[in-house]
Amino acid sequence: MTEHKQEWGTRLGVILAVAGSAVGLGNFLRFPGQAAQNGGGAFMIPYFCALLFLGFPIGWAEWAMGRYGGQKGFHSAPGVMGVFGGRAFRYLGVIGVLIPLAVSFYYTYIEAWCLGYFWHYLTGGVGVDPSMPIAAQTAAASKFYNDYTGTANDGLLFGGSYETFVFWLITFAVNIYFVFRGLSRGIEKFCQWAMPAMAVCATIVLIRVLTLGTPDPALPEQNVANGLGYMWNPNFAALANPQTWLAAAGQIFFSLSVGFGVIINYASYMKKKDDVVLSGLTASATNELFEVGYGGMITLTASFVFLGLSGTIAAVATGTFGLGFVTLPVVFAHMGAWGNVIGALWFFMLFLAAITSSLSMYQPSLAFFQESLGISRKAATTLMVSICLVGSFMVIWYSTGGIFWSTIDNWVGTFLIFILAAVQIIAFSWVFGIERGVREAHQGAHIHIPRFYRFVMKYVTPLYLIVVFLAFCRSNLGDWVRAVAEDWRQQLALGLVVAVTVFLVVCTRIGEKRWAAAGLDLDGKRGLD
Amino acid sequence: MTPLGWVFMLGSAIFVWGLTVWCFWRVLSFPDEPPAEQVKEFHSA
C-alpha cells in the first residue's frame, strides 16, 4: 500500500531494537527505589509474579498481533488492531500511535538532560564540591538540575544559557536521522551498537561501585555489603500490603514497554515465519537483566556507601529524577579522580538507554501516517517532525516545575498504557481467540508458549490487569483530575493531547476509506494464505 | 546484608542472567529461517 518495504535485517536486530525500546531510565533509577520502598528483596516475589503473569503474556500477544497484522499489510496499531477486532478496535488502536508520539514530546527533552550531564562530566563535572557539608552538596546539585531543566520559570530555556535547548536540538536531530534512515539501516544498526555499548558502560560502573569497599574508615557501616543490604534485605511484612503488589506490577508493566504501541509496530515488519515467542522472551529478559542485574546493584549501593542510610532514604524519596540527577552527582563527587569518569559513563549509559527508547517512539507514527494518508516516507517524516516540534516546544517552554510534561506522562504515558494493554490482551485472547492466537504465535517459533499460558492469557492476565488498573485509579485518579481542574498548564497539556488525538482519529478515518478501497482485509475477515 | 538478602540478590541475579544467556544462546543457535518440519506441522494443523 505504500512505496516502501521496510524490513528488519536480522532476528537479533529486532530483538535488540525491542529490548532497547524497553530499557530506559526507569530500569536504573525507578526500579531500585520501588524495591527499597516496598520490601527490599521480598519485592522480587510480586515482581517476578507480575513478570510471569503480566509482562510475558502481554508481550507475546503484542508480538504475535504485530506480525499477523504486518502480513495483512498493516504496520500501525489502528490497522493491526482492526484486523484483530474490527472497527471499534481500529479506533482504540489510535492510542497505540498517540502514546509513543505524545511521550516523545518530553522524552527527548529528558534525553537531552542525560546528554548535557554527560558533556558536563566530560568537561569537569556539575560543580559539586565534596569538601562542603552534604546538605550544601545536595543543594548545589539541586540548583544545577533546576537551572538545567528550567523548572523555575516558563521560557527559561529560551532566555537563559540555551545549553539545554541546544542539546535537545542535537538529540532530536539524531533521533530523526536514524528513524528516517529506516528500520534496518537506522534503528536496527544503531541498537546493535548502542545496546552492547550500554552493557559495557553499565558493567564498568557496576564493577567500580562493587569495589568501593568502605571509602570512609571513620564510618565503617557505610560499606558495599550494607549498601546492597539496603536494597536487598527482605521485609516479608511488606507482602501483606497490597501497595507492594501494585508497585511491582506497575514496575514490570512500564518497564517492559508493553501496551505502548511499539512492539506491535516493530513486529509488523517481521516475516511470516520469523519466530516471535523466543524473540519476545529474549527482549523481555534483556530488559530484566538491565533492571535487576544492573539497576538493582548500582544506584542505591553507591548512594549508601557515600551518603549513609538516612541520605539514601532521603534520596529515594526524591523519586526517579532526584535520585538520578541530584543524588548521584553528589555520589560521583565523592569518588575522587574516578568521579568524573564514572559520572560521564553513567550519563552516557542513561543517554543510550533513553535514545534507544525514543527511536522506537517515532516509527509507529511514521508508519501510521504513511499507511493512513498514503504519503511518502519523506512526507510522513515531515508531518511527524512538525507535530513533534509543536509538542516539544510546548514542553520546553512550559517548563515550570515539570508540570506540563508530567501531565502528559500521567495521562498518556501511564493511564493510557493500561487501557491499550487491556484492549490488546482482550483482542488477542477473546476476540481473535486464544487457541487461534497461540497457533499464530507458534508459527515459525523456536520455542512454544507453555500450555498453561493459554489459561493465563485468557483469564489471569486480563483480571490481573483490571485489578491493578482499578487499584491504580483508586490511588491516583482523583488527585489527577483535581490537579487538572486547578492548573492551567495541566489543562493546556491535556488540550495538546486531545488535539493530537483528534488529528489521529481523522487520519484513521481517511486510512479506513483508503484501505477498504484498496481491498485490504481491514477487519480480519479472511485468514492468511 | 543478611543471609536472606544475599539469597534474594543472588537468586534474582542468577535468574535474570540465566534467562538472558539462555535466550540469546537459543536465538543465536537457530538460523533465521524456522525448521522446515515446524512450518509443515503448522500448515497441516
In this complex, which of B16, B32, B34 lies closest to A292 when CB atoms are compared?
A: B16
CA atoms in the 13 A half-sphere facing the CB of A232: 27
A44–B39 C-beta distance less than 8 A: no
Cα gap A431→A132, rounded to integer Å: 63
- 3-state SS of A267-332 is HCCCCCCCCCHHHHHHHHHHHHHHHHHHHHHHHHHHHHHHHHHHHHHHHHHCHHHHHHHHHHHHHH
Query: Is A46 within 8 Å of A245 (Cβ atoms)?
Result: yes
**Alpha-carbon torsion, ordered A133, A138, A143, A145, to 10 deg:** 150
Cα gap A367→A77, rounded to integer Å: 10
C-alpha cell at A383: 508531518
Query: Is A445 within 8 Å of A145 (Cβ atoms)?
Result: no
Task: State pLDDT tens for residues B16-43.
Answer: 999 999 999 999 998 765 544 454 444 4
Which residues of chain A fall short of a pLDDT of 70? 1-4, 156-161, 527-529
How confident is the model at residue A529, as a pLDDT? Answer: 54
* CB-based contact, B26 to chain A, within 8 Å: yes
* CB-based contact, A309 to chain B, within 8 Å: no
Three-class SS state of A524: coil
Q: Is A321 exposed, middle or buried (0-12, 13-18, 19+ CB in 10 A)?
A: middle
How confident is the model at residue A414, as a pLDDT? Answer: 87
B9–A228 C-beta distance less than 8 A: yes
C-alpha cell at B35: 525448521
**Alpha-carbon torsion, ordered A451, A455, A458, A460, to 10 deg:** -120
CA distance A382 to chain B (A): 34
CA distance A370 to chain B (A): 28
Q: Which residue has the cell 516516507?
A: A377
B27–A278 C-beta distance less than 8 A: yes
CA distance B34 to chain A (A): 5
How confident is the model at residue A489, as a pLDDT? Answer: 95
Cα gap A417→A506, rounded to integer Å: 21
Torsion-angle region of residue A384: left (phi > 0), alpha (psi -120 to 50) or beta?
A: alpha
* CB-based contact, A224 to chain B, within 8 Å: no
Considering only alpha carbons, which residue of chain A is nearest residue B24? Answer: A282
B34–A275 C-beta distance less than 8 A: yes
Three-class SS state of A152: coil
pTM: 0.92
Query: Is A116 within 8 Å of A167 (Cβ atoms)?
Result: yes
In this complex, which of B15, B32, B34 lies closest to A10 when CB atoms are compared?
A: B32
Cα gap A508→A499, rounded to integer Å: 14
Beta strands, E only, A427-500: none
Residue A174: count other Cβ atoms within 10 Å of its Cβ: 17
Q: Which residue has the cell 536487598?
A: A232
Q: Is A488 exposed, middle or buried (0-12, 13-18, 19+ CB in 10 A)?
A: exposed
